[in-house]
Amino acid sequence: MSDKEVEIRGGQGQVLDPETYRDSIGTMEQSGKRKWIFPRKPKGKYTNYRNIVSYLLLAVYFIVPFIKINGNPFFLFNVIDREFFIIGQPFYPQDFFILTLGAIASLIFIIIFTIAFGRIFCGWICPQTIFMESIFRKIEYAIEGDRNKQMKLDRQEWNSEKIWKRGLKWSIYVVISLIITHFMFMYIVGYEEVINIISQGPFANPTNFIVMILFTAAFYFVFAWFREQVCTLVCPYGRLQGVLIDKETINVFYDFNRGENRSKWRKGEDRKAAGKGDCIDCYQCVVVCPTGIDIRDGQQLECINCTACIDACDEVMEKVGLPKGLVRYASEKEIETGAPYKFTGRMKGFAVVLVLLVGFLGFLLSSRGDMEAKFIKPAGSTFFVREGKITNTYNYTFLNKTNNKKIVTIKVIEPAKGEISYSASSKITVERDKITKGTINVSFPEDAMKLSKQNITIGVYDMDGQLVDSYKTYFEGPFKLQF
């Protein structure tokens, strides 16, 4: 630990030694044993806002699998069958570069957002936080009570009260983990298939049943035991935060200029005259923290910007008659100098890159063709000459990317004088979101072919005569000596 970290000031203004400092912020005792976190139930303005955001996102998670647009799922990411739908629009492996570009744009957006606003995503939008704080933690409060009651229950022997409370809580956790797993699979195979698997029973689908159990166990393990350690030990975003933030990044900060020197509250005391700060060292900002840190020790990677400490501190400040905002959203520079927040040059640069990337992504999506056509010569095939015409055979594959049935026909675009003969009808029906395959013959007069292997372009047209796609391939003919 660096000297700077050692010299962080404690609750009474003293300098903490490394061991005490580690014990004061971590989820681990000095002996190396895990220190279980019992956060007090938060309440306040920001908590209410976070609850609204959480409930909206939970509603989205549980409703979206049942929404369809033009008969297609609103969102489906079926890697197994290579079926992908975003906002009802089908995507295929051929379009994966668009999804990759979208992922890159999302990553850059996260980087810009983190540079500007810190780790707000973790506290407000992250699925781990939403499930933990808005579902599992609330169940725990309802069954075991708030912080003090939970600590008391944890210390007491395994009597009837502890057994039934813990048993009830863990049983509900298992059920909820199972529900979350089923909905997660709906995003992969669709709700119809999940319902079908459930109706058939575990013995009809043993592999699916085992996978469901494994994922349920994983969710239960995370939310019943691992908890905040996902954020503090596993999640790479917490480590990335340290690289991206600077003194102008908005985060949850303690105003040490106003708060120090800390001292317990005494009614009627003139704290300013006594050289005391506004922090009354009540420790409420610590006991509500879901990751067990003391926000007064400065910015820490364990902080997920959940704002529980802001609400707790504001409540105390209101009770003792001091101004709110001792812990608030601010930049480190604002806390140190009082300078207002501004959009830095680095943020502007990233924003320009993001706008350009999103614009290019939008162009690719808008210009993506309704149909993809390929004309491939069968392996080992060659040409044949009959009645003054050279003929080649091609296997065609049409992929209809729209939500409507299409009827198309085929024409040779270049060079001219090409003729098409079909193995069936010249009007080819391609169903919505389907692949259609077939065979055609392409013929040219002998005098039109100057080379033994010549490039040609074949077009696919709809019934209105509009070109929907084209494909460049090659045409074989007799070898000719050129003089």
> Residues 51-73: pLDDT tens digits?
999 999 999 999 999 999 878 89
The whole-angstrom separation of Cα 282 and Cα 275 is 18
Number of other residues whose CB lies within 10 A of the CB of residue 178: 17
pLDDT at 237: 82
In this prediction, what percent of the chain has a pLDDT beyond 90?
50
pLDDT at 12: 37
Which residues touch 225 (CB under 8 Å, ≥6 apart)? Answer: none
Q: What would the mean pLDDT of 144-157 be, rounded to a whole number?
A: 94
Closest CA to 252 of 201, 213, 309: 309
The per-residue pLDDT of the chain, averaged, comes to: 86
Q: Which residues pair with 412 in a beta bridge?
A: 458
* pLDDT of 347 over the 50 cut: yes
Q: What would the mean pLDDT of 135-158 be, rounded to a whole number?
A: 95
Reported confidence tier of residue 481, pLDDT bands at 50, 70, 90: low
* pLDDT of 424 over the 90 cut: no
**Which of 177-181, 299-303, 312-316, 419-423 comes out lowest in average pLDDT?**
299-303
> Residues 383-418: pLDDT tens digits?
999 888 999 999 999 988 877 888 999 999 988 888
Residue 453 backbone dihedrals phi, psi, to 5 degrees: -140, 110
* pLDDT of 370 over the 90 cut: no
Q: Please say whether the beta carbons of 122 and 304 come within 8 A.
A: yes
pLDDT at 109: 79
Angle between helix 191-200 and helix 160-189 axes, rounded to 10 deg: 120
Reported confidence tier of residue 221, pLDDT bands at 50, 70, 90: very high
Q: Which helix (H) or strand (E) holds 454?
A: strand 453-462
> Residues 16-51: pLDDT tens digits?
333 333 344 456 666 667 888 999 999 999 999 999
* pLDDT of 153 over the 70 cut: yes
Whether this model's pTM surpasses 0.85: no
The whole-angstrom separation of Cα 147 and Cα 150 is 5
Q: Which domains does the chain have, with CATH numbers?
A: 21-65+117-336 (no CATH), 369-474 (2.60.40.10)
Q: Which two tokens stand for residue 414?
A: 């270049």
Terminal Cα-to-Cα distance of the chain (whole angstroms): 83
